[in-house]
């Protein structure tokens, strides 16, 4: 039309920030690259480069959004009235599940003899969770179930090729017709939650078959994770034997549907792409896995892996919060300057970068130590996996909110990148044991294994000896833990766990981190003013270099 101004060539002419897409999550993350190489998993880097590009692709980001915009739907009965207990998913869910399976997140360390396969798989898990976390739930449970299922050799012989598969098979059919399987877990009940010894679900012996001791299970589970999994490891009480661990498939070996009745799907705050259900068992068929009466112990073994995955996932959340906030601040202008050039905003972003590096170092270090036969590595994992799960998951909740604030109003809308991350973050603090449970586990490890715990603290003391403020905190912690009575420490369990994690992160940063990050971490986290809000440490030295190196975009 005559006289109309031409359209601007810039697609974002109004100081709006272009969406961050078609970038490589792994190539942009120098800290994760360093940790992969430090663990000896550089053989996996070509795969991680491919995965990083895949997870940052616009099509993948859209699939992740679609999977959460269109949550799973429960169909309890067929149109002819038959009980089917079927959960239907949007196709995007299967896209993300197939990606996770193809990238080895469900099984890699159990079918690759290299110890560094644990760190390789952990890096893939961190990348996946930055894009879509709901699909990581059944994936990580399948991974963690493998060592438990090996306790029943006859059953495992059937499941092994299906667990080893790198393909995703969404078909709802008996195991004999499957190309791969996913495995979930059913532990908590309505009346007990984390108090598993109060469980009432009952297993009644039903003879012995080719897979061992068979039972019929009646009862319920209040949170049944991923009910469309091909089987679940379920906790149930079997007479005088006490609580046992049982493998309960969706389909019985004779080809009939198992009596697992889905009552409803949970309407969750986040993690919406993944289905979590309340279920009832009406004499459901199952087979025992492991020793009678050792069900809690066996499933806690499984939980030790899923807890580590919670820490890795939340380290990924923190990383993604930093990436989105820094991307926005590098493009958005206010008061005549880009946000990243403004000193107070730079302080906030630098704090996010420090936290991200510290979280990644600790989570990846624990993953790399996991397969080790060194008693000190085992002691590290026993003490620091629950501590890291407590702390990193808590920090992810706070820092996703800070990153959202960096984006202002654009961060607080559902179409933006941070809304889903913000809703997703709390689940890792709750799933597989709440914060209090984790801190009590740390205290229990200190009390039951005093010699090994003392060795861990001594190693930390050696690592931080050159940093007086950190060394003083370490000495005070050693003195506190050496003072009876131990039971008097329970009210202090959160404070004790926080100090332990910060010490471990400081030690790792001093040994393996960038000097600017280590200095900022120690000056802030071991200073008297730290803790209330992000961005309160004021030293400008090294801040711009820290931000330039944090995200390579």
Return mean pLDDT, the chain.
93
More confident residue, 528 or 268: 268
Mean pLDDT of 410-436: 93
State the pTM of this model: 0.95
Tell me the fold of 298-550. Answer: Butyryl-CoA Dehydrogenase, subunit A; domain 3 (1.20.140)
Domain 178-293 and domain 298-550 have a common topology = no
8-state DSSP, 340: G
Ranges of each domain in the chain: 30-164, 178-293, 298-550
Mean pLDDT of 190-214: 92
Mean pLDDT of 105-113: 97
The pLDDT, as a whole number, for residue 345 is 94
The pLDDT, as a whole number, for residue 5 is 54
pLDDT tens per residue across span 319-361: 999 999 999 999 999 999 999 999 999 999 999 999 999 999 9
The pLDDT, as a whole number, for residue 300 is 87
CA 499/CA 386 separation, integer angstroms:
13
The CATH code of domain 178-293 reads: 2.40.110.20
Q: Tell me the pLDDT band of 4, cut-offs 50, 70 and 90.
A: low
Q: Which residues, at least 6 apart from 159, have a Cβ–Cβ distance to it below 8 Å?
A: 149, 175, 181
Token pair listed for 232: 């679940």
pLDDT tens per residue across span 76-89: 999 999 999 999 99
CA distances from 44 to 84, 103, 116, 163 (A): 42, 11, 9, 21
The pLDDT, as a whole number, for residue 1 is 45
Q: Is the model's pLDDT at 541 over the cut of 70?
A: no
Mean pLDDT of 43-67: 98
Q: Tell me the pLDDT band of 135, cut-offs 50, 70 and 90.
A: very high
Instruction: Determine the longest span between alpha carbons in the chain, in angstroms.
Output: 90
Around Cβ 371, how many Cβ atoms within 10 Å?
Answer: 16
| DSSP conformation letters of 190-241 | TTTTT-GGG---EEEEEEEETTEEEEEEEEEEEEEE-TTSSEEEEEEE-GGG
Mean pLDDT of 251-258: 96
CA 383/CA 405 separation, integer angstroms:
34
Give burial (CB, 10 Å; 0-12/13-18/19+) of 158.
middle
Asked whether the bond before 485 is cis by omega within 30 degrees of 0, the reply is yes
The pLDDT, as a whole number, for residue 373 is 79
Q: Is the model's pLDDT at 107 over the cut of 90?
A: yes
Token pair listed for 523: 């000056």
The pLDDT, as a whole number, for residue 409 is 93
């Amino acid at each position: 039309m005559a006289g109309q101004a031409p359209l601007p060539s810039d697609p974002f002419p109004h100081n709006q920030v272009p969406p961050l897409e078609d970038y490589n999550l792994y190539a942009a993350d120098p800290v994760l690259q360093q940790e992969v190489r430090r663990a000896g998993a550089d053989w996996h880097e070509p795969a991680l480069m491919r995965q990083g590009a895949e997870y940052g692709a616009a099509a993948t980001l859209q699939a992740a959004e679609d999977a959460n915009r269109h949550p799973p739907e429960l169909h309890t009965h067929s149109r002819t009235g038959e009980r089917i207990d079927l959960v239907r998913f949007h196709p995007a869910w299967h896209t993300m599940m197939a990606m996770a399976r193809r990238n080895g997140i469900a099984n890699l360390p159990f079918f690759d003899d290299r110890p560094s396969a644990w760190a390789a798989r952990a890096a893939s898990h961190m990348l996946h969770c930055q894009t879509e976390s709901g699909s990581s739930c059944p994936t990580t449970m399948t991974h963690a179930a493998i060592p438990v299922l090996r306790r029943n050799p006859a059953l495992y012989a059937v499941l092994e090729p299906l667990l080893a598969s790198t393909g995703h098979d969404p078909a709802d059919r008996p195991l004999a017709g499957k190309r791969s399987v996913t495995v979930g877990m059913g532990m908590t009940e309505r009346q007990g939650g984390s108090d598993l010894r109060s469980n009432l679900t009952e297993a009644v012996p039903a003879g012995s078959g080719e897979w061992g001791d068979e039972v019929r299970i009646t009862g319920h589970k209040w949170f049944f994770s991923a009910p469309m999994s091909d089987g679940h490891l379920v906790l149930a009480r079997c007479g005088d034997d006490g609580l046992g661990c049982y493998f309960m498939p969706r389909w019985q070996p004779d080809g009939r549907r198992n009596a697992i009745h889905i009552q409803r799907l949970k309407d969750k705050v986040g993690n919406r792409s993944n289905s979590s259900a309340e279920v009832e068992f009406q004499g459901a068929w199952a087979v025992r896995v492991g020793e009678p009466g050792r069900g809690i112990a066996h499933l806690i073994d499984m939980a030790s892996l899923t807890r580590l995955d919670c820490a890795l996932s939340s380290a990924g959340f923190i990383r993604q919060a930093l990436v989105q906030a820094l991307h926005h601040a590098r493009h958005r202008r206010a008061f005549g300057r880009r946000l990243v050039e403004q000193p107070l905003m730079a302080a906030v972003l630098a704090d996010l970068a420090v936290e991200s590096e510290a979280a990644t170092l600790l989570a990846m270090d624990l993953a790399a130590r996991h397969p080790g036969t060194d008693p000190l590595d085992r002691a590290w994992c026993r003490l620091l996996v629950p501590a890291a799960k407590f702390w990193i998951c808590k920090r992810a909740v706070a820092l996703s909110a800070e990153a959202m604030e960096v984006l202002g109003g654009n961060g607080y809308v559902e179409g933006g990148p941070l809304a889903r991350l913000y809703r997703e973050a709390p689940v890792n603090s709750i799933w597989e044991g709440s914060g209090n449970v984790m801190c009590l586990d740390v205290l229990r490890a200190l009390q039951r294994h005093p010699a090994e715990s003392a060795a861990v603290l001594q190693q930390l003391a050696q690592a931080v000896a050159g940093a007086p403020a950190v060394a003083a905190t370490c000495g005070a912690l050693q003195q506190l833990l050496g003072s009876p009575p131990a039971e008097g420490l329970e009210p202090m369990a959160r404070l004790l766990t926080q100090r332990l994690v910060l010490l471990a992160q400081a030690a790792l940063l001093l040994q393996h981190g960038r000097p600017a990050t280590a200095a900022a971490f120690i000056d802030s986290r071991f200073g008297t003013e730290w803790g209330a809000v992000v961005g309160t440490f004021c030293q400008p030295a090294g801040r711009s270099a820290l931000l330039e190196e944090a995200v390579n975009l």
